[in-house]
Amino acid sequence: MSGEALRARYAAVLERVTAATAAAGRAPGEVTLVAVSKLHPAADVAETAAAGQVDFGENYVQEALEKRAELQARGLCANVRWHMIGHVQSRKAAQVAGAFALVHTLDSVKLADALERHTPASGVQPVLLEINVGDEPQKAGVPVDEAAALAVHVVERCPHLSLEGLMCLPPVFDAGEAARPWFARLRRLRDSLRAECGLPLPHLSMGMSGDFEAAIAEGATIVRIGTDIFGPRPPKK
Ligand SMILES: *Cc1c(COP(=O)(O)O)cnc(C)c1O
């Protein structure tokens, strides 16, 4: 895609996020846009960052680290905050801990312990719990009824992890308003977990290209948008 087309798509998404935030009666700036650049080239990240975007999401550890290294080598994107939004295997924890501004996809005690072990002693790794909000057997994420136990584990056993909220992918894809009850469910779960783990849990990472307006209406503080900014993704090699 040309730089001009990409900037126009990016501006249109920003406008929709702003409009949805206002329509929900929420303050401007309450919703952070994470631009999901997985499978898109580093040049598209550089172009979007030059247009003012700060937060970028990647799904695959290897791809994310390579893209960053490429940008760094060219002196670009030094101020970008990288988000890990894909499933993380525990054996990759060493590459992830300390390397991302926020890991959205903590979904097991095993991964929590691995991230804890690999976070530099002087640092803190911010994390969200990925919730399998539809309790779908094939899907990643901690089941709703196990979320409290995992939250308490992180709080009590993982002093180098900072638990900041919840993330989900609803069972319906590209479904707009139909996704809303799932986003409401994540918000209610966050509200009940607050009491159980004694943390404010400010963040709800929910909403993608096909449903982010509905997510903002239900309280999303972070939306993860790929296709509407960067266009269709090339297939994963
Ligand atoms: C790819 C991806 C997105 C972006 O999806 P789009 O439909 O392209 O906006 C958001 N969140 C996660 C977890 C993803 O894997």
pLDDT in tens, 78-106: 999 999 999 999 999 999 999 999 999 99
Ligand 1 pocket check for 60: Cβ under 6 Å: no
Residue 180 has pLDDT above 90, yes or no: yes
Helix (H, G, I), strand (E, B) or coil at 23: helix
User: What gap in Å lies between CA 200 and CA 192, rounded to an integer?
Assistant: 11
Residue type, position 67, single letter:
K
Q: What CATH class does 3-230 carry?
A: alpha beta
Q: For residue 175, with 0-12 CB atoms within 10 Å meaning exposed, 13-18 middle and 19 or more buried, which class applies?
A: middle
Distance from the CA of 193 to the center of ligand 1, in angstroms? Answer: 25
Residue 237 has pLDDT above 90, yes or no: no
The structural domains of the chain, with segments of one domain joined by +, span 3-230
Q: What is the pLDDT of residue 1?
A: 86
Ligand 1 pocket check for 224: Cβ under 6 Å: yes
Ligand 1 pocket check for 208: Cβ under 6 Å: yes
Q: The pTM is what? A: 0.98
pLDDT in tens, 126-175: 999 999 999 999 999 999 999 999 999 999 999 999 999 999 999 999 99
Confidence of residue 236 (pLDDT cuts 50, 70, 90): confident
Ligand 1 pocket check for 38: Cβ under 6 Å: yes
Are 90 and 112 spatial neighbours (Cβ–Cβ below 8 Å)?
no
User: What gap in Å lies between CA 147 and CA 57, rounded to an integer?
Assistant: 23
**H-type helices in the chain, by residue range?**
3-23, 42-50, 61-73, 93-96, 109-118, 147-157, 180-197, 212-217, 227-230
Distance from the CA of 124 to the center of ligand 1, in angstroms? Answer: 26
